[in-house]
Amino acid sequence: MSNRREFLRTCAGVSATAIAASMSRLGIVDAFAQDHHRGGFPLGTDYRALVCVFLAGGNDSWNTIVNLDDYALYAATRGALALPQASLNPYQMIPPSDGRRFALHPSLGPRFKPLWDQQKLAAVVNVGSLLEPIDRPTYLARPDLRPPSLFSHSDQVAQWNTSCASPALLTGWGGRVGDRTIHMNGAIPFPMMVSIAGSTLFGTGAVVRPLEVSSGGSVGLAGFNNTNASKQRYNAMKALLAEGTDVTFARSAGAVTGRAIETNELLSQVLATQTPLQTQFPNTGLGNQLRMVARIINGRALLNIHREIFFVQIGGFDTHSGQLTSQASLFTQLAEAMGAFYNATVEMGVQDEVTQFTASDFSRTFKFNGSGTDHGWGGCQFVLGGSVRGRDFYGDWPNMAVSGPNDSGNQGRYIPTTAVDQYSATLATWYGLAPGDVNAVFPNIPHFGSSNLGFMA
């Protein structure tokens, strides 16, 4: 009894902030809230997963995809940053919706061009954070219609993760989609949202919280091992956590910790007992993150799960300087990792049920700053999977003239012609978000012409 009282005192001494942080990290929420949210809705019968690949730092889109039919303007504006046309020619694309010749960056091309040709890869072009559609004259005359803190990393990351330029939200669009679709997984103990890249606003909902997993596996409790004494302490701790108490805070803390332990044990068991995948992943940060995502998806039958959302991240895209070298290396890692992951979905037979998509803080300026590029706005993102209507562009490629009709100023910071809201809503609808829930998840979507860009079958 004294041990139990000591445990309760320890729980009472833990701050509410620490408990909340632990709940968030372990993807555990109040059981009543989760069950209440599931109640009265049908279970899923199929499987679908979204994988957000975040390019942290603000990827320069204008060397990601190059307009070959306007190469002279590109070369003149970008100067030493312009990629040689000969290096681009093997990776040409002619999107039917546009009709002009474009090319992938030569570090993306070897992996991405075959997927483009197979109609598994699409590009959403000039997409960015918007309050509502806006043109250059309106942008210059109406600062109140610009997204808040437009060229700030932290603010733009938040706006991409929440898919809402204003008001600022405390939940991400992945989490809100999870809130509205959690019923499809029934009463399983495994979280719908998993991050392999640490804490993420993207996956935080009112009910759904992301389970944080390392690229090496589940994150268990420290201080235990396989010795008999350690196992006895571990089992004693679980027994204490399961004991009832009339102290609400201690009871909640015990339930949260107990469920976290169960989740960790479940994931560890699934990873240990599944048939290993034969697909080879690159031994890079992103490659190992996506390998873990593939391993979790490979355990979907053991978990009896029907809907999952994943978040992975690769950094280094804040290329104010040294862009040619750094972006080439990053793109090699990106293409190899995403390509390997697609191959893994083919091996598992779920290539039509799993969709990867990229996101980033913002694009960068079209004008060269002498070493790299500065913070921009609208840019290009990739969507990859068997259900993607690939080999085409979605959205409108901007007029690249500096100080031209699509430039917000005189640096080539292009005003988006497609909103993040539309991009995200298209993915969410494919995932299983009901049409009647789109406006609730994406509160600014009524400001735009369509909530579905059509790139998902």
- Quick: pLDDT tens for 299-349: 999 999 999 999 999 999 999 999 999 999 999 999 999 999 999 999 999
Task: Say if residue 138's pLDDT is above 80.
Answer: yes
CATH code assigned at 212:
3.40.720
- Three-class DSSP category at 447: helix
**What are the backbone dihedrals phi and psi of residue 121, each rounded to the nearest 5 degrees, phi first?**
-125, 130
Mean pLDDT (the chain) is 89
In a domain, 457, yes or no: no
**DSSP one-letter string for 112-172:** HHHHHHTT-EEEEEEEE--SS---HHHHHH-GGGSPTTTT-HHHHHHHHHHT-SSS--SS-
Verdict on whether the full-model pTM lies above 0.85 = yes
* Closest to 237 (Cα-Cα) out of 3, 402, 80: 3
- Could you tell me if residue 454 is inside a domain? no
Let me know if residue 452 belongs to a domain: no
Instruction: Please name the amino acid found at residue 418.
Output: T
pLDDT over threshold 90, residue 235: no
User: How high is the pLDDT of residue 262?
Assistant: 74
What pLDDT is recorded for position 257? Answer: 58
Specify if 11 maps to a domain.
yes
Token pair belonging to 107: 């570090």
456 within domain boundaries: no
Between 85 and 239, the more confident residue is: 85
What Rg, from alpha-carbon coordinates, does the chain have?
23
Q: How far apart are the first and last CA of the chain?
A: 60
What residue numbers bound the domain in which 134 lies? 2-447
Count Cβ atoms within 10 A of the Cβ of residue 55 and give its class: 0-12 exposed, 13-18 middle, 19 or more buried. buried
**E strand intervals along 248-360:** 307-314, 354-360
d(CA 364, CA 159): 16
pLDDT at 2: 43
Q: Which two tokens stand for residue 195?
A: 């991050």
The answer to whether residues 172 and 201 touch, using CB atoms and an 8 Å cutoff, is yes
Contact present, 372 and 322 (Cβ < 8 Å):
yes
5 contact partners, CB below 8 Å, separation of at least 6? none
In the chain, the number of structural domains is: 1
Does 36 map to a domain? yes
In-domain check, residue 276: yes
Of the pLDDT bands very low, low, confident and very high (cuts 50, 70, 90), residue 263 is confident
Q: What is the pLDDT of residue 237?
A: 64
What are φ and ψ of residue 388, in 5° steps? -80, 135
| pLDDT per residue as tens digits for the range 346-392 | 999 999 999 999 999 999 999 999 999 999 999 999 999 999 999 99
Tell me the pLDDT tens digit for each residue of 432-443.
Answer: 999 999 999 999
Sheet holding 102-104, edge to edge: 65-67, 102-104, 92-93
Q: Specify the pLDDT at position 329.
A: 98
Structure tokens at 194: 């998993």
Domain contains 455? no
How far, rounded to the nearest angstrom, does the alpha carbon of residue 188 sit from its chain's CA centroid?
23
